[in-house]
Amino acid sequence: MDFSFSEEQELSRKAAKDFAEKKIAPTMEEDEKEHRFRPEIVKEMGKLGFFGCIAPEKYGGLELGTLSATVMTEEIAKVSPSYGLPFNLQMFAPQTVLLNWGTEEQREKYLPGFINADTMGCFAMTEADTGSDVASMKTAAVETDDGWILNGSKMWISGIPFADVGIIFASTERELKHRGISCFIVDMHTPGITQNAIETKLGLYCAPTGEIIFEEVRLPKDALIGEKNGGFKICMNMLDSTRLSSATRAVGVSAACIEHSTRYANEREQFGRPIAEFQMIQEQIATMLVEHEAAKLLVYRAAWMRDQGVRNTLQVSLAKYYAAEAAVAAANTAVKIFGSYGFSTEYPVERLLRDSKSYQIVEGTSNIQKFIIAGYALGKRKDK
Ligand SMILES: Cc1cc2nc3c(=O)[nH]c(=O)nc-3n(C[C@H](O)[C@H](O)[C@H](O)COP(=O)(O)OP(=O)(O)OC[C@H]3O[C@@H](n4cnc5c(N)ncnc54)[C@H](O)[C@@H]3O)c2cc1C
């Protein structure tokens, strides 16, 4: 029997595909040129339940599971990689953290808003001097009698400057390195917080990215998620979800590259026949398809494991590494197949190449994924 999806998962895919084609595609190319983000699109996705896949019904979720969320993300990213990102900001990051580590009060207070997108989310580890080496973060939270005081800054944070509530990681005992990091849920409109857009990105023009500055920000006691100094474990657990979601977006990009390239190869004629008839073009398309299918199956397996409640850190890294590399390779090939038109902003493949590069960086670079994979292969890492 072939690998197949449940009826529910197929309906999820169809809902996302229809939404992407009807609500995102019509304005997307113009928005890309203007670098315009439309929060109303994210809010509509929220109202339709797109961000309710992993949360129980009592918080407003639909409990459709990670595989449903995965096929939805794939369909949205195929049309717009930028609008695939909110699956992380509204669902995988904040909801994974709250469901696995939050108190009942924190869940009741925050989950419904993330799910219906009345609350715009973000999650922040990265700083100007701290990327792969998360444990060396400098943003610090100092405990007081009635809560915490947060100082520092975060860089390259998706969703900024539109975030209402963020999952913020900060050092609470710097000398302990990764054992001295804590996780906070922060109202991003608290006095002392500034959100600035980064306008110099290579791609993902419809997805806001920015820096956050924290100056003497007073947080209440219950802003802490989990235990003091327990944040690194929460962060790694969250990354198992957000990484998978970025691998899924990469699969959406390679699907789009294949669709555009095959159509173009059948239409474009040189030497009196469609370029699709040249064996070298066929080889390029076959390679794109093989790598795309392999990436997709790695992603589906990791998502399925999450739905079974099985730890999937290795499988997520395998999927993230391979899907990111396959997306960049597919976009690079697509630009070649389009010739000069691949170099033109009139066609989508140059955008797909620019957007695809983000997957080799976000949620841990390709090198970091290989570092994790090799760790498992060499017996240096083991799941407890
Ligand atoms: C579009 C976009 C959105 C983002 N959104 C978010 C977000 O929402 N939240 C957030 O917290 N962050 C976000 N990031 C930041 C992203 O996660 C980091 O950029 C990423 O983790 C890499 O960190 P860095 O850029 O500091 O690179 P560095 O860590 O400085 O790495 C530089 C180079 O060195 C390599 N390298 C580093 N360490 C090792 C090692 N041990 N072994 C081998 N090679 C190594 C890396 O692979 C890379 O090639 C975003 C980034 C982008 C581009």
Instruction: Please write the tens of the pLDDT for every residue from 211-221.
Output: 999 999 999 99
Residues 6+ apart with CB under 8 A from 229: 172, 173, 176, 179, 180, 181, 182
Closest-CA residue, ligand 1 atom 14, reads 156
How far away, in angstroms, is 110 Cα from ligand 1 center?
28
The catalytic residues are 363
Ligand 1 neighbour 362 (Cβ under 6 A) = yes
Instruction: Identify which of 125, 205, 360, 362 to mutate to test ligand 1's pocket (most ligand atoms within 8 A of the CB).
Output: 362
7-119: CATH topology: Butyryl-Coa Dehydrogenase, subunit A; domain 1 (1.10.540)
Structure tokens of 90? 């509204």
For the chain, how far is it from start to end, CA to CA, in angstroms? Answer: 33
Rounded CA-CA distance 235/377 in Å is 23
Question: Residue 327, by phi and psi: left (phi above 0), alpha (psi -120 to 50) or beta?
Answer: alpha
Ligand 1 neighbour 241 (Cβ under 6 A) = no
pLDDT on residue 2: 63
The count of C-alpha atoms lying within 13 angstroms of the C-alpha of 265, restricted to the half-sphere facing its C-beta, is 22
The average pLDDT across 359-369 equals 98
DSSP state of 22: I
How far away, in angstroms, is 361 Cα from ligand 1 center?
5
pLDDT band at 85 (very low <50, low <70, confident <90, very high): very high
How far away, in angstroms, is 128 Cα from ligand 1 center?
10
Closest-CA residue, ligand 1 atom 25, reads 131
The count of C-alpha atoms lying within 13 angstroms of the C-alpha of 100, restricted to the half-sphere facing its C-beta, is 22
Closest-CA residue, ligand 1 atom 48, reads 365
Question: Residue 229, by phi and psi: left (phi above 0), alpha (psi -120 to 50) or beta?
Answer: left
pLDDT in tens, 47-75: 999 999 999 999 999 999 999 999 999 99
pLDDT in tens, 271-280: 999 999 999 9
Rounded CA-CA distance 40/163 in Å is 14
Residues of the chain with CATH 1.10.540.10: 7-119
CATH top class, domain 232-377: mainly alpha
Ligand 1 neighbour 124 (Cβ under 6 A) = yes
Residues of the chain with CATH 1.20.140.10: 232-377
Rounded CA-CA distance 343/355 in Å is 15
How far away, in angstroms, is 245 Cα from ligand 1 center?
16
Closest-CA residue, ligand 1 atom 12, reads 126
Element (H, E) at 157: strand 147-158
Rounded CA-CA distance 315/317 in Å is 5
Rounded CA-CA distance 269/267 in Å is 6
Ligand 1 neighbour 371 (Cβ under 6 A) = yes
pLDDT greater than 60 at residue 1: no
Q: Indicate which atom in ligand 1 lies nearest the CA of residue 158.
A: 8
How far away, in angstroms, is 130 Cα from ligand 1 center?
8
Ligand 1 neighbour 209 (Cβ under 6 A) = yes
Q: May I ask the CATH architecture of the domain 122-229?
A: Beta Barrel (2.40)
pLDDT in tens, 187-228: 999 999 999 999 999 999 999 999 999 999 999 999 999 999
Rounded CA-CA distance 137/183 in Å is 12
Closest-CA residue, ligand 1 atom 30, reads 131
pLDDT in tens, 107-137: 999 999 999 999 999 999 999 999 999 999 9
Residues of the chain with CATH 2.40.110.10: 122-229
The count of C-alpha atoms lying within 13 angstroms of the C-alpha of 119, restricted to the half-sphere facing its C-beta, is 23
